[in-house]
Amino acid sequence: MRTRPTILYFSPDANPVPPLVEQWAQSNAFPLHVFRRPDDVESIVLRGHPSLLFVDGNAAGDSGLALVRRLKGDAFTAIVPVAVWADAHADERVQEWFAAGADEVLTRLFSPAEQRSRIEATVVRTERDVSVHPSTRMPGTTEIEREIRRRLDAEGEFAVCYADLDHFKEFNDRYSYYDGDRVIYLLSRILHDVVKGLLGAGGFVGHIGGDDFIFIIPGADIHAVCSEILGVFDTLIPLQYNDQDRRAGYFFGKDRRGQLHRVPLMTLSIGIVTNRHRGFTHPAQVSELATEMKSYAKTLPGSVFVVDRRQGGDGEGRGGSPREHR
C-alpha cells in the first residue's frame, strides 16, 4: 500500500460499497479496502498515503466528520483527498462535510457520469497540487523526473539545466529569511518568464527546493536561453541589496571561524547536461551529472553556465572548454 495506488472506504455501519465507487476503483485497477473504525483508517493513511478516501456520509455522521477534521488538520495526512458519499438523505450536511475539510461531496443531485468525473477530478487536482513547490508554485521533484523521462522517451536532443544561487546563505544571514524567500521567488519568475517566453511549451521549469531549480530546454536553445537568464538575473539581483552594499558590490560577513571576509553580490551558476554526445536510460543518471556540472559551475567567478561536453559514459575529458558565457 506504500507504492500502489489504493482506495479506502470508511463506513461505521459496514454498508456495502456504492456500485459507482466500486466500479470506478475497478476501472482504474485500484485496490479497494473497507474499514469500520476511524483509527484503522488513520493508521493506513499515516503509513501508506492512499490515493483517495471515501467516507460513507449516510452512516459516518459525527464520527466521520471528526475523522475528516483530524486528517485535514495534519499537514502530513491532509494531502490525501477525501470524498464523501451522501446519496440518501444527507444533503443538508454537505456544508458540514466541506467545513470539516472534505475535498468533494457526492450527492444525488449529480448524475452517475458527473459523479465519476468529480471523483477523477479530485484525484487529478490533488496529484497536481502536491507535486508543486509551495513557495513558487512550480513543479517539484516528481514532475521534474517525469519530464526528464518524457524527454528521454521522445528521443530528441534536450538539455537539463541545474541553476543554483551563489552566496545565497550569506545574503540570508545578513538580511532575513523573508528577503531570501523574495530572492528565490524572483529567480523562479526569471527562469519561468525567460524559458516560457522564448520557448513556450518547448521549455519546462521546476523547483527542486531552496535556491535549486531545474529547467529543461531543446539543446539548440542553450545559449540563447541561458544568456538571457543570466543577463536578467545580473540586472535585477543588485536591487535586492541596500544602497551601501549595492554600490560597494560586496558586504562583510563572517566565515565558520568567525573571521570577517568580503561577500560578493549573488551570482547564478547553471550546470548543463545534454544527450548530444551520450545516451541516458534513467532520469537519475541525468540528475547526477547535472549536479556534478552545477558544482563545477560554482567554482567559476560570476554568473555562468557550463555545458558538459564529455562523450560516452566514462566521464573522461571535456572535449574542449566546458564553459560558455552569455
In sign, the C-alpha dihedral spanning 123, 125, 126, 130 is: positive
Q: What is the pLDDT of residues 11-34, one digit of tens each?
A: 887 778 888 888 888 888 888 999
pLDDT of residue 271: 97
Q: Which of 90, 29, 98 is nearest to 61 (CA)?
A: 90
Q: Kindly list the structural domains of the chain, giving each domain's residue range(s) and its CATH number in brackets, ordered by start.
A: 7-130 (3.40.50.2300), 141-324 (3.30.70.270)
Residues 6+ apart with CB under 8 A from 129: 79
Q: Which three cell numbers stand for residue 297?
A: 559551475
Q: What is the pLDDT of residues 144-192, one digit of tens each?
A: 999 999 999 998 899 999 999 999 999 998 998 899 999 999 999 999 9
CA 283 to chain centre: 16
| Amino acid identity for residue 22 in this structure | E
Q: Which three cell numbers stand for residue 252?
A: 562583510
Overall pTM surpassing 0.75 (yes/no): no
In the predicted structure, residue 216 carries a pLDDT above the cut 70: yes
In the predicted structure, residue 257 carries a pLDDT above the cut 80: no
Q: Which of 139, 141, 163 is nearest to 272 (CA)?
A: 163
Residue with cell 495526512: 77
Backbone φ/ψ region at 104: left (φ over 0), alpha (ψ -120 to 50), beta: beta
Residues 6+ apart with CB under 8 A from 3: none
